[in-house]
Structure 1
Amino acid sequence: MSVNNILIIYCHPYTGSFNHAELEAVIHNLQQHHQNFTVIDLYADGFTPFYDQEELRLFHTGQTHDPLVTKYLHLLQATQGIIFISPIWWNSIPGMLKGFIDKVMKEGPGLSHTVSQTGIHGELTNIKKAYVLTTSTSPTLYFRCLMGNGIQKIFIRKTLRQLGIKHGQWQNFGGISSSTNSKRQNYLEHLSQQNFNF
C-alpha cells in the first residue's frame, strides 16, 4: 500500500472562512516542503455524517454501504500523519467531524480499532502524530481553563489515542471575531512556514 505522508481532514462549509484560509496556508506549506499529502474536504465531498439503518446494521461487521467511508478508511490506513482543520462549535468539534469519527472508524482487525473486555485497541498505529488546528470566537484560554479543555482532553487524548494515534498537538486561533486583519494574516503566515513534524 502506498503511503501518503500527510492526510488533511478539512471540516468547514464556507470557502470564504478563516478555516479555508488555514487550509490554503497548510497546503502551501506542504507544497513548499515537497510533502506528499491528500485532502479530505468533508463538505465538498458531500459526506453524510450520520448512520442510516443499513449503515448501523453493518457497523459491527466492519462493513459499510457508503463508498466515502471505504475511501476515507483506506486513506487513514495509508498515512503517517493527520492535520485536522476545523472550527470549534459549542465547545467541541462540529457534528460533521464527529460523524466522520462515528462512521469511518470501523471496528475489526485491520480496520481502525478492535474492542475487547479490557477496552479499545487502536489499529491506526501507522499515524505517528495528529495536528488539530481549530478556530473559535472565544479566547483559547477560555476553553483551556473554564470549559474543560475538551479538544485536548477528549478528542486528542481519548478519541485519537483509542484509535492508535498516540501523539497529538492542538493549536487554536481564538477570539477570531474580534481579531484584527493583521493578527489573522500573521497567523496564516505562521502556518505557511510551520514545521509539521511527523
Structure 2
Amino acid sequence: MRILLLLAHPLPESFAASVARTAREALEASGHIVDLLDLYAEDFDPRLSEAERRGYFDVPYDTSAVAGIADRVKAADGLVLVFPQWWFNFPAILKGFFDRIFAPGVAFTHDAAGGRIVPELTNIRLLYALTTTGSPWWLVHLYMGNPVRRLLKRRIANFCSKKLVFRMLSLHDMDRATEVKRKAHLERVRKALIAVV
C-alpha cells in the first residue's frame, strides 16, 4: 500500500516525531511505500483563504493553492495521522489540513440536488490516528467523550471507503509519562503498523 504519513507537531525532537519515525520504519519494513507529510517542515498554511471559502460551491472547486498535497492524498491507499491532542482537539495546523484538503473535488463533491455530499476519497482503505493527550484516560473518555476519536471515525473517515479500517492509538497522561511508558507506546505503535496489510 501507499501510505501518507502525516505529522502535525512543531518540534522535530518531539515524542510525536518519534512516533512518526517508528510508524515509518514499521510500515516500510512491511513493504509499504511511505510518503511523509510533515506539515510544519513543509510550511503548510492552515488558513482557508477568502478565495477558497467564496468558491466553495464552485464546480470545479479551485484547489490549485493546495494541489500538491491534495494529489498526495488522492494517491494514497491509507492515511496515518500523528499528532498531539491539545485542548481535546486537533492542533490548528491539522484542523487547517482538513479544512483546506478535505475540500470539494478532493474529499467529496456536492450532491447536485443540494444538501448531502458524495464521498470521493474511496481510495483510502486505512485510517490510523497515533496521538497523545496530556489528560488521563478517564478524563478523555468518560468526561469529554473522546471528541477527537468521534470526529475522525464519524466524520473524517466518512469521506473515505465504507470498508475503511480505522484505528486510534493514544498515549494518555503524556506530560507525566515515564520513559518506560513512552517506549512501551512506541513498541505498541510498531506492532500495530508492522501488521498492516
> For residue 112 of structure 1, what is the amino acid of its counterpart?
A
Map 1:46-125 to 2 at 5 A: 46-61=43-58, 62-66=61-65, 69-108=66-105, 111-116=106-111, 117-125=114-122
Q: Match of 1:189?
A: 187
Deviation at residue 114 of structure 1 after TM alignment: 1.4
Name which of 15, 21, 26 aligns with 2:23: 26
User: Is this contact kept in 1: 2:132–2:170, CA < 8 A?
Assistant: yes
Structure 1: runs of 5 or more not aligned: none
Q: CA RMSD in A?
A: 1.7
In structure 2, distance between residues paired with 1:52 and 1:37: 29
Instruction: State the TM-score, normalized to the length of structure 1.
Output: 0.88
Deviation at residue 130 of structure 1 after TM alignment: 0.1
Deviation at residue 189 of structure 1 after TM alignment: 2.2
User: Is this contact kept in 2: 1:55–1:65, CA < 8 A?
Assistant: no
State percent identity of aligned pairs.
Answer: 27
> For residue 42 of structure 1, what is the amino acid of its counterpart?
L
Structure 2: runs of 5 or more not aligned: none
Alpha carbons of structure 1 residues 165 and 140: separation in structure 2 relative to 1, 3 Å = farther
> For residue 141 of structure 1, what is the amino acid of its counterpart?
W
Matched, 1:180 2:194: no
Map 1:2-41 to 2 at 5 A: 5-41=2-38
> For residue 29 of structure 2, what is the amino acid of its counterpart?
Q
In structure 2, distance between residues paired with 1:197 and 1:65: 33
Q: Match of 1:164?
A: 160
Corresponding residue SS for 1:184: helix
User: Is this contact kept in 2: 1:134–1:171, CA < 8 A?
Assistant: yes
User: Is this contact kept in 2: 1:135–1:172, CA < 8 A?
Assistant: yes
User: Is this contact kept in 1: 2:120–2:160, CA < 8 A?
Assistant: yes
User: Is this contact kept in 1: 2:27–2:196, CA < 8 A?
Assistant: no
Alpha carbons of structure 1 residues 123 and 48: separation in structure 2 relative to 1, 3 Å = same
Q: Match of 1:126?
A: 123
Corresponding residue SS for 1:59: coil
Deviation at residue 149 of structure 1 after TM alignment: 1.6
User: Is this contact kept in 2: 1:151–1:170, CA < 8 A?
Assistant: no
How many residues were matched structurally? 190
Instruction: State the TM-score, normalized to the length of structure 2.
Output: 0.88
In structure 1, distance between residues paired with 2:91 and 2:144: 16
> For residue 184 of structure 1, what is the amino acid of its counterpart?
R
